[in-house]
Every structure is written in C-alpha cells, then in structure tokens.
Structure 1
Amino acid sequence: MTGKVDWDADQYLRFEDERTRPSLDLIQRVRLADPRRCIDLGCGPGNSTELVAARFPGAVVEGLDSSPDMIEKARRRLPQLSFTLANLDEWSADDRYDLVFANAVLQWLPDHAALFARLARALRRGGALAVQMPNNLAEPSHVSMDEAAAEGPWAGRLVNARGSKAVIGSFSDYRRWLMQAGCEVEIWQTTYVHALAGHDAIVAWFMSTGLKPYIDPLPAGEREAFLARYREKIAAAYPVEPDGKVLLRFPRLFILAVRS
C-alpha cells in the first residue's frame, strides 16, 4: 500500500480471505514460462506476495510497501523473501522485471497515464504487468464517506480526504496508455459480493483502507462521531438479508499487459 498514513495490518487481515480472492484470480491469469524476477508493489502484509511466490517458485520475488506495519508483517510471514519499505510514487526499477504485480494499490496514486507507462518500462520483453484496482467510488460504501465528511464539524479538516483516491480511468484509457507503451492488453471487471456479518463489518472492512484518510486526521471523540454517522449511512444503503448478513458489492478492475 501507499500513501502518507501508516496502514493497520491487523485490521486489514480481519478480512484476509475476501481481500486475497482478487489477487488469486489475477495471478492465475498470468502466464509466464520461466520468470526470473517478480515484484509485488503495494504488497501489504504479504498475502498477495505469497501467491506470486507460490505461482512462480523458481523466481526471485520481492515486495514493496510504504507502510512500516505492513512490511513488518510481510517479513514475518515470508522471511525467505525480500521486502522494501518505499513509496511507490517515488519508486523506479533498478532492473527489468518479468512480472510487476500491483494488487489494490495504484488507485491511491495520481496521473495514471504516466504511472502505467513507467510501470511498463520496468518490464522485460515478454514480461507482464498485472494490476487490480477497486472500482467502487460510486458505490454507497464510498459515497457515504464523502457525505459524512462534508456534514459534521470536521468538514474543514477533511477537505483533503474527500476525493483522496485517484479517479480510475476508463477501459479505453488503460488500453490506450499501455498499447502506447508497447504492450498487448487484456482488461476485465469483476463485481465481488461479500456476505458480511452486519453493518459494523462493512465499517470494519474499510477502517484499514478507504476510511483511513478520513479518520486519521480526527481526534478520538470526533473520530467516533464520524464513524457513527458513516455507519448510519451504511445501514440505510445496505439492507439486512434474512440470515442477518449484509451484501457488500465490490467492483474491481483487472488489467493484464504483456510487453512486446
């Protein structure tokens, strides 16, 4: 992961199975004959890096993340691999890779036209850039964040938080940018539906990711008040199923580009 705040690995891992599923779907679509060098950008606590290493056991696999907590957890989980603490927006490859894997991280960075061209340049010929990004800014889970941020006494302090994630480009944008970078491109989108244990579980899901820019600037009392208001909006937007679960829709955009 990237950004100016540190990320809570323990909170993130509360939903490890659900968060790992898109990484698994993505890595299974990567077809490389004998990759020698792979990197997992925004590796988090290492759950996605573990999939890359298992998929290509003969490769040297690295992980990179801007969060000290995430890097610590990744190193404990996979002590045989190399993990680097660095900001992805400042990272440049010191050599070419066979696989650049970026799961749920690039949505935090601006200027995707330049970003994707830079990542394509990090590939060897025949190498693959495999990307997954949440494409859920129009979902109630995220619209409610901005609404809650604008309504309370904290509104002035949360101006920067509103719209803090980069706007995801269109399918055409990513195809065009990567073709211009010399890649063959495959794009698809999947909407995952997670049956969670009530509205508090939706709040808990986003506490380690999307809500971080909103709650980190607030003192404890206002933080609780903000989360209560956000939960009210979530409860109105997500009906309870007969078994007590709530269904969290989560669209995700997948991009697989192979450098010619």
Structure 2
Amino acid sequence: MHSAPTWDPQQYLRHSGHRTRPFLDLLARITDGPGTDRPARIADVGCGPGNVTVLLADRWPDAHITGFDLSPEMLDRAEKEYAGATPGGGTLDFHLADAAHWTPDEPYDLIVSNAALQWVPNHPESFPTWIDGLAPGGTFAFQVPGNFTSPSHALLGELCSSPQWRDRLGDHGRRFVHVLEPADYLVRLADLGCATDVWETTYSQLLPGEDPVLDWVKGTALRPVLTALDGDEEAIGDFLAQYRDLLRKAYPPGPHGTVFPFRRIFAVARKPA
C-alpha cells in the first residue's frame, strides 16, 4: 500500500477463499463486539476490493462501515460491488486513504486491517493514534502475512537482486521487512493499555492448477515488480519465466495439488472501557 503498486482486483480475487479465511479467523476472536447499544462505527484500513469489508456487515448488520485504501483500482471494484445500504440497515462506503498516514477522524468502535499493514513501513508507530481514535471499549484488530522468509519471497528477492534485474528492480522483491514478530506486537499494544490477544497460524493451503504459487503471488508480492516493469512485455515474460522455474522446484505439485504453507500473524487489542 505505502508506495502504491498497481493492483489487479481480478487477479487478487482468484484465490479469495484462501485469502478470506484468516479474516474470518480474526473476526472470530473479537469477542467484545462494538455497538451494543447503538449502530457500530467501523473502519477497514487497507480494504482492497471490499470482499472482506462486506463481511463486517454480516457480523454487525446495522453498522456504518468505511473501507479505506490507497489503490484506485481496488476502490473502484469495492464501490461498484458493495457500496450503499446493507441488508441489516447499516451503510458501507469506501474512501481513498494511505494507511501510512490515515488518522481516525471520529471515534470508532472497531478498526480492522486485513493483510495490508505489511506494505506500510513503521506501521506500529500508528498504533497509539489508532487506539486513541477508538471509542472506550473499542477494538483494534489486524492480521498480516508472516511468510517473508519462505521460498516464495526469498526467491523473489534473490531474483530481483540478480545481475540481470538489480538495476531495474532493486529492492522490489525485498519490500516486506515491516512485519514484527508476534511478541513484539503484543508488547507494543499492551504498552498502550490494551487487553491484547496475539497469535500466529500457518495454513497449509492446497492450490490447484498449473503454477499456482506463481498465480498466487501475481496478486500480491509480485505487484511491485509488475508495476516497475509495466509496458515492457518482453521483460515481464522473461522475469515470470525465471521466477516460475524457481517456484516449481520449491513447491512441486502433488497428487492433490500444490501445498503452499502460509504463516499469518494476528492481533486483537481492546481499549479499556
């Protein structure tokens, strides 16, 4: 999000089932729901195409929910698909905003972020402002990928740094250094006076089809690379072929598909009432 690669909502949503599961697991741990005596006010920071933002309306049907994102492509998809009144009497809208600089402009009962903060350098520095922007008893909850030392990302970084690509791509393959370990998130949020639950899960995802890990990262980790090479179809084809061959060795297909382990880090922090 922070440096705004060009996003492709259709590509991102090709694996929407696997991408949605961590968000559902995050919501399941929010036990003290907002808005018990009034409609809740909810912010989704880094909402992407809105496919998980709309799930908040299932949990809090009468809430006023706003999704914030830096990508015009993602917001356009979200607005077309989900903006407006919700079946439970709430509302859902979307606004352009950079998570690196977003500040709550009103008290929120819930601020949630799904697989977005890894794009934001120094995002824990925003936590005091976001917690301060919660209503008493409000909740801040997020999940981020924690797989940046896995072969998918390590190989991408090595390829971008190779002699053929280093001048054009530089550190585009090593952008994900912003995620802390679970214990670090726990301490930072506890220091802000929050009752905090932090955990991690590794999903063993079974991906179907040919070169499914490449197809997966085309929607996320490869976006900065594809943005940097935009317009040079020969270079894009060459880079993808090299990366594909590396991924095939690291993630060989099995009889039921390709196993793609994916670690996620979760946090739920509740502000004192």
CA RMSD of aligned residues (A): 1.5
Give, in whole Å, the separation in 2 of the partners of 1:149 and 1:25: 34
> Structure 1 residues 33, 228: CA separation in 2 closer, same or farther (over 3 Å shift)?
closer
The residue that corresponds to 1:76 in the other structure is 80
How many Å apart are 1:152 and its aligned residue? 4.8
Q: Is structure 2 residue 44 aligned with structure 1 residue 40?
A: yes
Asked if 1 retains the 8 angstrom alpha-carbon contact of 2:161 and 2:171, the reply is no
Q: What are the superposed Cα offsets for residues 169-208 of structure 1, whole Å, 9 maximum, x if unpaired? A: 1222111111121211101111111111245211111112
Q: Secondary structure at the match of 1:14?
A: helix
Among candidates 236, 239, 260, match of residue 248 of structure 1: 260
How many Å apart are 1:3 and its aligned residue? 3.4
Among candidates 238, 241, 248, match of residue 228 of structure 1: 241
> Structure 1 residues 34, 42: CA separation in 2 closer, same or farther (over 3 Å shift)?
closer
The residue that corresponds to 1:143 in the other structure is 154
Q: TM-score, normalised by structure 2?
A: 0.90
Structure 1 ranges of 4+ moved more than 6 A:
none
Q: TM-score, normalised by structure 1?
A: 0.94
How many Å apart are 1:67 and its aligned residue? 0.8
Letter in 2 for 1:11: Q
Asked if 1 retains the 8 angstrom alpha-carbon contact of 2:123 and 2:178, the reply is no
Letter in 2 for 1:250: F
Give, in whole Å, the separation in 2 of the partners of 1:250 and 1:172: 19
- Structure with greater proportional helix content: 1
Asked if 2 retains the 8 angstrom alpha-carbon contact of 1:2 and 1:105, the reply is no
Count of matched residue pairs: 259
Letter in 2 for 1:205: W
Q: Secondary structure at the match of 2:32?
A: coil
Give, in whole Å, the separation in 2 of the partners of 1:167 and 1:87: 16
Sequence identity of aligned pairs in percent?
Answer: 37
Instruction: Identify unmatched segments of 5+ residues in structure 1.
Output: none
Q: Secondary structure at the match of 2:100?
A: helix
1:15-94 matched pairs, under 5 angstroms? 15-35=15-35, 36-80=40-84, 81-94=92-105
The residue that corresponds to 1:174 in the other structure is 185
Per mean C-alpha deviation after superposition, the further-off stretch among 57-66 and 193-202 is 193-202
